[in-house]
Structure 1
Amino acid sequence: MPADDPTPVTVRDYRPEDAEATLQIFVDAITRTAAADYTPEQVQAWARPGQRSVPAWHEAMQARGSVVACVGTHVAGFSDVSDTGYVDMMFTSPRFARRGVASALIRHVEQRARKRGLERLHADVSVTARPFFAKHGFVVLAEQHPVTQGVTMTNYRMEKRLDGAS
C-alpha cells in the first residue's frame, strides 16, 4: 500500500486470530527494517525466523495485553504497555511503513497509560526505533548492550514523562 493511501489507521485490542500476522510483522520488521542498523548475526539472534511457534507467540501477546493497528482489514503493527508503563513491543510491518501506524500505536499506548494514572512510559528501544521514540517525546536514559542468543546487541533505555496523568 502506498504511503499516500488514505485508508485510516485504527487501533484495537489484540485477538487470537492476530497471532500469525503479528509474528510475521515482528520477523519482517527486524529482518527487513532493523537490518539496516544491525549485523546479520544480530538480526538472526533477535528475530529467530522460523524458530518461534504461533501458540507461544499468542500466549505472550495475550499476557502483555497487546493492541494491533489496522489499515483497513490488514494488521499493520502492534504494541503493548504494562501496568508499570513498560512498552515491550512496538513493531510496524515494512509494508505499512510511513503510514502513521507506529504513531497511532504510541498515542494509543500513551492514552492507556494515562488512564491507568501512570506518570511515565519506558522502553528498551532498538537503534532503528530510537529516532521515532525521540520524536514522540522519549529521552535516552542509557545505551545498553544486552546479549540475545549469545549475540551482543545495542539498544537504548528510553523514557517519557506523562504530564497530567489522570
Structure 2
Amino acid sequence: MTIDVCIREYHPDDFDALCEIFLSAIKEIASHDYSPEQIAAWAQIDEIAWHRKLLQSEGLVAVCQQRIVGFITARQDYIDLLFVSPIAQRQGVATRLLHHLEQRHPDTAFRVEASITARPFFIGQGYQIVKEQQVEARGAVFTNFVMRKAAM
C-alpha cells in the first residue's frame, strides 16, 4: 500500500518535525533490531550539530496531508539520513524519497551506512553490501552495513 505524498526541499522550519520522526522511528521501529542500551544511545539529538548537518546537506521531506512523514539527507554521494514516521511505515514513503534523490543525480553512485533495520529496504532498492562494520556512538557499539548502488 502506498500513500499520496509530495516531496519537497527541506526548510529550516521543518527541523522539529524531522527530529520527532528520527526519534520515533528509532524508538518504535529500530528497537526491534537493537538493544535498549543501543536505542538509548542512538535516540539523541545534538541540535546544534543537526542544524549544521541539515544546512550542509541536500534535504528532502515527504509531506502527506500537510504533515511531514519522512525525510532524506545526502552530501555528495553519501546518504546520511533516511527516516519515515512509524505511522507511515511500509507505505512507499522511503522509496519515493530515495527515488526522488536518485533521479535528481542520475550520474551518482550513492552510498549509505544502513542500519540492520534499513538493510532490507536498501537491498530491495538495488544497493549492494560492501561490508558489515561495527561503529561506536555514545558508548554503544552498533552493527551497520556500508552499501552502494551503481549510478542510474
Give the TM interval when normalised to the shorter protein: over 0.9
Counterpart amino acid of residue 76 in structure 1: V
Partner SS, residue 70 of structure 2? strand
Q: Does residue 86 in structure 1 map to residue 78 in structure 2?
A: yes
CA distance in 1, matches of 2:146, 2:98: 16
Look up the match of 2:32.
36
Length-normalised TM-score, structure 2: 0.93
Look up the match of 1:130.
119
Look up the match of 1:22.
18
CA distance in 1, matches of 2:13, 2:51: 9
Q: Please give the residue correspondences for 1:37-76 in structure 2 after superposition, counting only pairs within 5 Å.
A: 37-48=33-44, 52-53=46-47, 56-76=49-69
Look up the match of 1:109.
101
CA distance in 2, matches of 1:37, 1:162: 30
Give the CA deviation at 1:21.
0.2
Which 4+ runs in 1 deviate beyond 4 A? none
More strand by share: 2
**Are the counterparts in 1 of residues 56 and 75 from structure 2 also a CA contact under 8 Å?**
no
Q: Deviations over 1:3-47 (max 9, x none)?
A: 67x5x1111100111000000100111111000000000011111
**Are the counterparts in 2 of residues 125 and 157 from structure 1 also a CA contact under 8 Å?**
yes
Length-normalised TM-score, structure 1: 0.86
Give the CA deviation at 1:59.
3.0
Counterpart amino acid of residue 125 in structure 1: A
CA distance in 1, matches of 2:64, 2:133: 34
Counterpart amino acid of residue 46 in structure 1: W
Counterpart amino acid of residue 65 in structure 1: E
Aligned length: 152
Q: Which has the higher Rg, Structure 1 or Structure 2?
A: 1
Root-mean-square deviation (CA), in Å?
Answer: 1.5
Q: Deviations over 1:40-92 (max 9, x none)?
A: 000111112xx533x54333212112111111201001002222x11000000
Match of 2:144 among 129, 142, 155: 155
